[in-house]
Amino acid sequence: MKLVEPPSCSTASSIVFIGRNRRGQWVAQQQNGLFGGLFVNRAQAVKYALFENGQHPEMIIELSREIELDMAGEAATFPARRVA
């Protein structure tokens, strides 16, 4: 039997921000910093965000400015546009 790690936001969908950092890497990060990661392309960042937020594309927001991965657990606020 293959075990799959459950999404980090198992109780409710979460807003996930995606965008590029200053190095050009793609960042996906949950609004409150509970999960996040660095990715080589947008498709992988979106795939990760969808897995972690329970397959809710309407809860993914692509940022128009740089975003740095910050796992401090503080709420983020950014000017953004919705992906879905």
Taking the C-alpha atoms of residue 84 and residue 59, their distance in angstroms, rounded to an integer, is 8
- Note the pTM of the prediction, 2 decimals: 0.71
Query: According to the model, what pLDDT value does residue 58 have?
Result: 96
Taking only the tens place, the pLDDT of each residue in 37-80 is 999 999 999 999 999 999 999 999 999 999 999 877 654 555 55
Q: What angle do CA 82, 16, 29 make, to 5 degrees?
A: 130
According to the model, what pLDDT value does residue 11 have? Answer: 43
